[in-house]
Amino acid sequence: MANSANTSNRKKKWLFLGLGILTAGLSLFGYNYWKKNKEKVNSDSKVPDFESKKSKTTKPDQSSTKPLKKSTKTSPKTKAGPPPKSTSAPKPGSKSGANKSTQAKPFPLKMGDKNSFVKNFQSGLIKKYGKSILPKFGADGSFGKELAAAIRKIQKLSATSPVSVSETLYKSVVSSKVLTGVEPSLIITTTATKVWKDPKTAVSVPVNMVLGQQVCQRGDFTLFQSDKLYFLVETSAIKPYKPTT
């Protein structure tokens, strides 16, 4: 009886041992199988495995931002700095500044000026009004008392009025068309007309009236002098006066 009991106990021990070994083997097989399937799933999936070394691929993204920081630092340097030399203004003593100053028109002309503009204006006065307008110095290029007196005379100003030559007055004298080489002559009306002293003052005159000494023509009008005063009359209403002998 004792031997049979020992034999059954041994069989039970071997049975439990075999079951334990089988269980351990199945567990190891199941773990290996699970591990292989997990790696396969991770390799097929698009989601990165953050525990593996592949997660280090995110570092280039951080390094790619570094050049952007450098570019932002260098951009202010390009804005700073001296302006181009070509945009700098010419120096006061440079030749370009001197050329601009000589080409500028010095209007209005005034007492004390000495330049070619004054001389041209004096020459224009002589052509329009004769040499008697500047009898002493003529066209000497100097704005003095004689020229001031001539301007007061043609503009009918008082002896104490300040005078100057505007660009408009300059052009009206210099650019006017006057016949040269012809002495002023007396004019007489061919029809009843009007004589203007200024744009607001006009006087009616009859036919065959000797008006005075012709000075020049301005478009459709003729400027003449009478008793040291100047008047305008329509050119179509006058003709040269030839006294009978």
The share of the chain scoring above pLDDT 90, in percent, equals 26
φ/ψ region of 130 (left if φ > 0, alpha if ψ in -120 to 50, else beta) reads left
What is the structure's pLDDT at 49? Answer: 46
3-class secondary structure, 215: strand
Give which of 168, 207, 164, 161 is closest to 188, Cα–Cα.
207
Q: What is the pLDDT of residues 187-222, one digit of tens each?
A: 999 999 999 888 888 999 999 888 988 888 877 899
What is the structure's pLDDT at 241? Answer: 83
Range from 33-37, 195-199, 206-210, 223-227 carrying the lowest mean pLDDT: 33-37
Whether 178 shows a pLDDT value over 80: the answer reads no
The share of the chain scoring above pLDDT 70, in percent, equals 62
Lookup result for tokens 């039970």:
12
Strands (E), the chain: 186-189, 193-198, 201-205, 210-218, 221-226, 229-234, 238-240
For domain 186-240, the CATH class is: mainly beta
CA distance 211 to 194: 11
Arithmetic mean of pLDDT over the chain: 74
Whether 236 shows a pLDDT value over 90: the answer reads yes
Do 75 and 68 contact (CB within 8 A), yes or no? no
State how beta strands 229-234 and 201-205 pair.
Answer: unpaired
φ/ψ region of 219 (left if φ > 0, alpha if ψ in -120 to 50, else beta) reads left
- Confidence (pTM): 0.35
Domain locations in the chain as residue ranges: 1-40, 116-174, 186-240
pLDDT band per the 50, 70, 90 thresholds, residue 54: very low
Mean pLDDT of 103-124: 88
